[in-house]
Amino acid sequence: MFKKAILLFSILFFTGCVERGFELTVNKTTQTITAVKTVDISKKSETTSTQKDMQKMDSAVKKVQKKQASITKTKKIEKVKQQNKDMLNEEQAKQKELSKQNQEAKLNKAKALQIEKENKLQAKKEREVLEKKLAEEKEAKRIAAENERIKLAQKKAQDEKSAKQEEAKRLALIKEKKEKAALERKIYKENAERQRKEKEEKLALERKIEKEKKLQEEKEKREKEQLEQKLAQKKKAQEEKREKALKKQQEAQKLQKEKQAKKEKQAKSEKLQKVEEKNTIKKITTAESLIFKPTKQTYQKFGTSEIHGHVVYMTQDGQEIALKNTKIYLVPKNTKVDYWFNNYYLKNKESSSLSKTVVHYLNATHLNLEKNFAFYGLATGTYYIIIESSYPSKMAKNKKVYIAKKITVEKYKKIMTVFSKKL
């Protein structure tokens, strides 16, 4: 009963997401929720604001997380109801079995009477069949003689028809050769025109991608300069604060002994707190760690599609947290990555061996201040988006946390996706 309710809820929810233009996926094993939307760049009517779409998908992901929490609370109640229902069904099945046995006895008696009637009818039918067979044999002899006469007439007509068909085939072959030659000339002209157009489109696309890369580099440079200014202002404020603290310390030398005692007491409490945190560190199971290296294989350099993403990490209570050293890799689909994705990531388990999986990536980037990332100029094909971060030291030491998603890229498409993971 509970499984049916979950299935019905999933169908209704995903249907609503499709109507809004994006696909929502929930993976309970990895505690990950992803939302994906694809837009055709070549059609102006379908182009939308990337930021608005990402915000809509992010809000939808948060709603699913709240609904999952409410479902787990009702799970125990549904289990008790199902047990009571099973006991009632068992009693009803026993009563049905008794009534079924009585009905079978009555049916056996009626069948015996029916068989006796059928035997009498069978004897009567056999006499009628014998009489009919003798009449059919007589008629068959007459028909055979008539058929022999018809066959002779048909053979003569067939010979005349074959001569006419041979002449028609000869004329058809001559016509077919002429049409084939004309078609080959037409195809040659069309191929030459198509190659010329493809060459022009490729040159225009290369110029567009180069322009977009320059704009992206300028944007990243501006963001870096703004961040450096903020850090410089913060450092200046800290220095001013330190100078004021030194002046106050010189004026308050009489209270130094009391402050020293307070500091020692605070140091002891901090030491105890660190010991408690060390004892309460969770034993977290994660997917097998990866070693990322740039690919040496040759792929198509320029493409017409792009991927935009937004990443959110959540605690079990639903609060957002920031992880250090977050990096995003674009990895072409291959057997090694498929094996890691299906056997380690989706099952959320570590390898027992000491060796780590080496993955060759096509491109890599970092999250910006708004927790967004983007890849431009992608060729058609299937890729993995793999997000790698380090767990907070309070939760797990020397552990890596991953979010992975397989995405198929088509020509002239903009793919937007939101990743949300509970730690």
Average pLDDT over residues 156-171: 85
Cα 313 to Cα 21, 326, 388, 406, 418, distances in angstroms: 24, 11, 12, 19, 11
Angle at Cα 233 formed by Cα 229 and Cα 235, nearest 5°?
A: 115
Structure tokens at 98: 């008794």
Query: What does the block give as tokens for 154?
Result: 């048909």
- In tens, the pLDDT along 296-352 reads 777 666 788 999 999 999 887 778 888 877 899 999 999 999 999 998 888 877 765
Q: Is residue 319 a contact partner of residue 353, using CB atoms and an 8 Å limit?
A: no
pLDDT the model gives residue 422: 86
* Range with the poorest average pLDDT among 284-293, 337-346, 413-422: 284-293
Mean predicted confidence (pLDDT) in 391-401: 77
d(CA 21, CA 23): 7
Residue 277 has pLDDT above 70, yes or no: no
pLDDT tens figures, 353-380: 546 788 999 999 999 888 999 999 999 9
Which tokens in the block code for residue 323?
């992880």
- Residue boundaries of the structural domains of the chain: 22-42+50-69+285-422
CB 421 within 8 A of CB 401: yes
Helix (H, G, I), strand (E, B) or coil at 129: helix
What tokens were used for 413? 């498409």
Strand partners, 309: 373, 417
In DSSP terms, 314 is beta-bridged to 320, 422
Give residue-wise pLDDT tens across range 14-37: 444 444 678 888 888 888 888 898
Helix (H, G, I), strand (E, B) or coil at 401: strand
Alpha-carbon dihedral sign for residues 76, 80, 81, 85 = positive
Residue 8 confidence (pLDDT): 42
Question: Is 308 exposed, middle or buried (CB count within 10 Å of its CB: 0-12, 13-18, 19+)?
Answer: buried
Q: What is the C-alpha separation between 328 and 172, in angstroms, rounded?
A: 64
Residue 72: per-residue pLDDT: 66
- pTM of the entire structure? 0.49
SS3 assignment, position 293: strand
The span from the CA of 201 to the CA of 195, in Å, is: 10
Q: What is the largest CA-CA distance in the chain?
A: 141
Quote the CA–CA distance of 167 and 404 in Å, as a whole number.
69
Q: How confident is the model at residue 13 (pLDDT cuts 50, 70, 90)?
A: very low
* pLDDT the model gives residue 185: 87
Q: 270 pLDDT exceeds 80?
A: no
CATH entry, 22-42+50-69+285-422, from 2.60.40.10, 3.30.1360.120, 3.40.1080.10, 3.40.225.10:
2.60.40.10
Task: Report the pLDDT value the prediction gives residue 18, as an integer from 0 to 100.
Answer: 43
Q: What is the mean pLDDT of the chain?
A: 81
Can you give the length of the chain in residues? 423
Residue 318 near residue 65, CB atoms below 8 Å: yes
Residue 297: phi, psi to the nearest 5?
-75, 160
Contacts 24+ apart (CB under 8 A), 5-10: 5/78, 6/71, 9/67, 9/71
Residues 404-410 have a mean pLDDT of: 93
pLDDT of residue 59: 87
- Tokens 């915000």 map to which residue? 55
DSSP symbol at 99: H
In contact, 60 and 35? CB cutoff 8 Å: yes
User: CA-CA distance, 316 to 423, in Å (whole number)?
Assistant: 6
3-state secondary structure of 332: strand
* Residue labelled with tokens 């097998």: 288
Encoded tokens for 328: 């995003």
pLDDT, tens digit, 9 for 90 and up, residues 82-118: 878 888 888 888 888 888 887 887 888 788 788 888 8
Whether the predicted pLDDT of 6 surpasses 60: no
Burial class (CB in 10 A: 0-12, 13-18, 19+), 306: buried
Determine the average pLDDT of the residues in 3-20.
45
Give, rounded to a whole angstrom, the gap between the first and last alpha carbons of the chain: 30
Query: 3-class secondary structure for 339-358?
Result: HHHHHHHCCCCCCCCCCCEE
Residue the block writes with tokens 């007459």: 142
Token pair 């989706």: residue: 346
